[in-house]
């Protein structure tokens, strides 16, 4: 096997430039969630990206299937025992602030820069070439290798739910959609809407009152799992209201991130932050939270004013759940909670069109039902009700699990790094499978640029990823199957 592994690595080195070129072609496709098309449940561009990848694999002699646009399958082997690799073709919206076109990839200082480069198209391409090198080496593996390519990972993973309903999951698998050396635990995820509670007695929308300062609308955020980098609000002010606004602005501690412009008797307020992945809220600067902190300092009238103050108190001052009385932790990690989307309209509180979206990540030792109960308790004193929630329970494999041990050994042998496995706040496909972990692609010491402007992947690391995944698949295939049955 060791001789075959060396041959596989040499094959991958020969394909290094071609792999970069095909990745750049894939990155040009703006595979962001959009309106469904024929056989494209999550948008035509996502379908086009999936067809491109399956076309490459089919041209190399693999058995490929596009299952109604939900998942793509690339198979090698005929055994009933499958080893799976799970990647995804969809990406989050590009956002603003890029130095280059996010869907026109460029190689800058040895890095391929484009949306999706590290999350998850770069790793996807590395896996595809790992499969190709294994096949071309002629090594006889007593298993079937299956590359499962999802299309909706960034927006609820309906693709994987479809896969699990229509296909038998692999006996063991990994997902290159997180960090090295290995992720053996993923925190629970709770994403839900915080809505104004119109059943409670309290302030009206103020339509019959004389107000100095009315919030006409406020908005920010592009996706529930992205820390937003921009947010805006529009205020209608009287002459006295303008004086109160300027007084509050001058006293606001974080006004460096706030700009405003007056036009036609209205003031447009703009908050600037820094985007980040929702699982790492402290790695960015939340523009929606900043805007809410500022708005809560203003004497806003009516129900919208109270809604802003309530949401700000609960969510805008820290990312540790403290405002919700949910500052929780275990031996592996702490709870995080961030407000990631906001949409307030002048009279929409009457029909609950106004909403704020929350992204919470909770420790692996805790159950989702308990977290939801605590969230209800934490919002009970406010005019807030929980809207639709997306809950994913934590996922955890112990360090002595054979899959964990083997992948750590492969990683150490190739990189020399003996770091312990990690627990993260991010969610990957691994949590949906038995005997599954997240494995790469971000190396220790690297800054993860997933969901950030300027997202990129190192050309050198792209090759290294392909080698790591090829070796891992070969050595996993050699392990006794009864360890995982």
Residues with active-site annotation: 90, 153
Could you tell me which of 82, 80, 51, 85 has the C-alpha nearest to residue 68? 51
Count the residues in the chain: 485
d(CA 269, CA 259): 6
d(CA 72, CA 333): 34
Identify any residues that bridge with 478 across adjacent strands, giving them in sequence order.
none
Tokens at 249, concatenated: 């602005």
d(CA 427, CA 368): 14
Neighbours of 399 (CB within 10 A): 12
Q: What are phi and psi of 182, to 5 degrees?
A: 180, 145
Three-class DSSP labels, the chain: CHHHHHHHHHHHHHCHHHHHHHHHHHHCCCCECCCCECCECCCHHHHHHHHHHHHHHHHCCCEEEEECCCEEEEEECCCCCEEEEEEECCECCCCCCCCCCCCCCEEECCEEECCCHHHHHHHHHHHHHHHHHHHHHCCCCCCEEEEEEECCHHHCCHHHHHHHHHCCCCCEEEECCEECCCEEEECEEEEEEEEECCCCCCCCCCCCCCCCEEEEEEEECCCCCEECCEEEEEEEECHHHHHHHHHHHHHCCCHHHEEEEEECCEEEEEEECECEECCCHHHCECHHHHHHHHHHCCCCCHHHHHHHHHHHHHHCCCCCCHHHCCCCECCCCECEEEEEEEEEECCHHHCCCCEEEEEEEECCCCCHHHHHHHHHHHHCCCCEEEEEEEEECCEECCCCCHHHHHHHHHHHHHHCCCCCCEEECCCCHHHHCCCEEECCEECCCCCCCCCCCCCEEEHHHHHHHHHHHHHHHHHHHCCCHHHHC
């Amino acid at each position: 096997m060791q001789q075959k592994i060396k041959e596989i690595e040499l094959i991958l080195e020969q394909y290094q430039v071609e792999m970069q070129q095909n990745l750049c072609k894939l990155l040009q496709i703006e595979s962001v969630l959009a309106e469904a098309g024929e056989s494209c449940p999550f948008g035509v561009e996502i379908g086009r990206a999936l067809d491109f990848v399956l076309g490459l694999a089919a041209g190399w002699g693999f058995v490929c299937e596009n299952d109604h646009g939900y998942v793509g399958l690339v198979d090698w082997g005929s055994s009933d025992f499958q080893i799976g690799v799970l990647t995804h073709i969809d990406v989050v919206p590009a956002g603003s602030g890029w130095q280059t076109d996010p869907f026109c990839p460029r190689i800058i200082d040895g890095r391929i820069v484009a949306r999706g480069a590290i999350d998850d198209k770069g790793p996807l391409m590395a896996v595809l070439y790992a499969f190709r090198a294994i096949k071309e080496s002629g090594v006889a593996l007593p298993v079937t290798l299956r590359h499962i390519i999802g299309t909706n990972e960034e927006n609820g993973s309906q693709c994987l739910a479809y896969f699990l309903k229509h296909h038998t999951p692999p006996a063991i698998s990994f997902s290159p959609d997180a960090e090295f050396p290995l992720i053996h635990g993923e925190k629970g995820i709770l994403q839900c809407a915080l809505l104004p509670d119109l059943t409670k007695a309290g302030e009206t929308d103020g339509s019959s009152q004389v107000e100095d300062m009315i919030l006409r609308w406020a908005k920010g955020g592009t996706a529930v799992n992205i820390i937003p980098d921009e947010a805006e609000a529009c205020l209608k002010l009287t002459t006295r209201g303008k004086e109160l606004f300027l007084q509050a602005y001058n006293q606001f501690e974080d006004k460096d991130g706030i700009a405003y412009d007056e036009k036609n008797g209205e003031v447009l307020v703009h908050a600037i932050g820094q985007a980040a992945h929702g699982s790492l809220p402290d790695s960015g600067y939340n523009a929606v939270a900043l805007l809410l902190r500022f708005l809560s300092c203003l004497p806003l009238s009516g129900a919208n004013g109270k809604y802003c103050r309530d949401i700000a108190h609960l969510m805008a001052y820290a990312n540790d759940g403290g405002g919700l009385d949910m500052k929780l932790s275990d031996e592996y990690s702490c709870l995080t909670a961030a407000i990631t989307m906001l949409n307030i309209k002048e009279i929409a509180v009457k029909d609950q069109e106004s909403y704020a979206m929350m992204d919470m990540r909770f420790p692996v030792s805790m159950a989702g039902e308990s977290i939801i109960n605590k969230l209800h308790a934490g919002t009970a004193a406010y005019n807030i009700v929980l809207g639709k929630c997306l809950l994913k329970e934590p996922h955890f494999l112990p360090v002595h699990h054979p899959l964990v041990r083997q992948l750590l050994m492969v990683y150490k042998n190739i990189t020399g790094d003996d770091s312990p496995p990690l627990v993260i706040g991010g969610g990957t496909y691994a949590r949906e499978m038995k005997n599954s972990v997240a494995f790469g692609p971000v190396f220790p010491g690297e800054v993860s640029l997933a969901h950030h402007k300027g997202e990129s992947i190192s050309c050198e690391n792209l090759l290294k990823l392909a080698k790591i995944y090829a070796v891992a698949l070969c050595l996993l295939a050699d392990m006794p199957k009864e360890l995982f049955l």
